[in-house]
Amino acid sequence: MDAAEREAVKALVGGGAFVRFAAEDDALLVSDAPRRMVAEALADAVARLTAAGYLCRVTERGLLAIDWNETRWAAFAARHSAGGWPPWPHDEALHACYALVRLLLLHPAPWAAQPRPLLRALVKALARRGGLCKAAPALLAACARRLRRHEALPSAGAGLILAALPLTHNHGEGMP
């Protein structure tokens, strides 16, 4: 999710409400629209968001949680399908990112089984400067826990990570 899409969502919400990344991984975005708008205006905003392909719900804290609907998630998965093994990087700061993408490539899962909370965490991490390198260890740990429980991984995120990583590498040394 790029800044242009976040701005488009903000325009759909309207009413001077903020729209930002959700702190939790149960939605991509949150807005304070329920606190700023009367019920009719909020219903209109939710209708606009729904028509544009978003799911909305009001949280316990009175915020509007906004997420992609299944069509948008499927488009995300198709747009970011990975192709091939990434070469191992020289930069050690990127090793956890490459380990994550390789783990996701090793464990492809059907789209319907992929965990949306981990995909949301990945989308949000990539939207923040340096966010992927910061989030990669926790995402690797979450994926390891899922593998131990024989659960699907968010393999659609592999292509998204590959697209975000620099292409400099050590010419194939290291893991295949």
For residue range 108-165, list pLDDT tens digits in order: 999 889 999 999 999 899 888 888 889 999 999 999 999 999 999 999 888 888 877 7
Residue at 169 is within a domain = no
Same domain membership, residue 12 and residue 58? yes
Instruction: Round the average pLDDT of the chain to a whole number and report it.
Output: 85
Which of these, 84, 88, 101, 83, lies nearest to 140 by C-alpha position? 101
pLDDT value, residue 173 = 39
Among 55-64, 84-93, 124-133, the minimum mean pLDDT is found in: 84-93
pLDDT-based confidence at 54, cuts 50/70/90? Answer: very high
Residue at 176 is within a domain = no
Model's pTM, two decimal places?
Answer: 0.72
pLDDT value, residue 73 = 86
Same domain membership, residue 153 and residue 77? yes
pLDDT value, residue 168 = 47
Same domain membership, residue 137 and residue 111? yes
Four-point Cα dihedral 78, 80, 86, 90, nearest 10: -170
DSSP the chain: --HHHHHHHHHHH-TT--EEE-SSTT-SEEE-HHHHS-HHHHHHHHHHHHHTTEEEEE-TTS-EEEEE-HHHHHHHHHHT---SPPPPPS-GGGHHHHHHHHHHHHS---GGGS-HHHHHHHHHHHHSTTHHHHHHHHHHHHHHHHHHTT----TTHHHHHHHHS-----TT-S--
Which domain covers residue 129, as residue numbers? 73-164
Q: Is 116 or 84 the better-scoring residue by pLDDT?
A: 116
Same domain membership, residue 131 and residue 87? yes
Same domain membership, residue 111 and residue 41? no
Same domain membership, residue 136 and residue 80? yes
Can you tell me the mean pLDDT for 62-79?
88
Can you tell me the mean pLDDT for 56-70?
93
Residue at 173 is within a domain = no
Same domain membership, residue 155 and residue 79? yes
pLDDT value, residue 92 = 73
Residue at 174 is within a domain = no
Same domain membership, residue 160 and residue 78? yes
Residue at 172 is within a domain = no
Which of these, 88, 127, 105, 122, lies nearest to 2 by C-alpha position? 127
Number of structural domains found in the chain: 2
pLDDT value, residue 156 = 87
pLDDT value, residue 82 = 57
- Tell me which of 68, 97, 119 is where a domain ends: 68
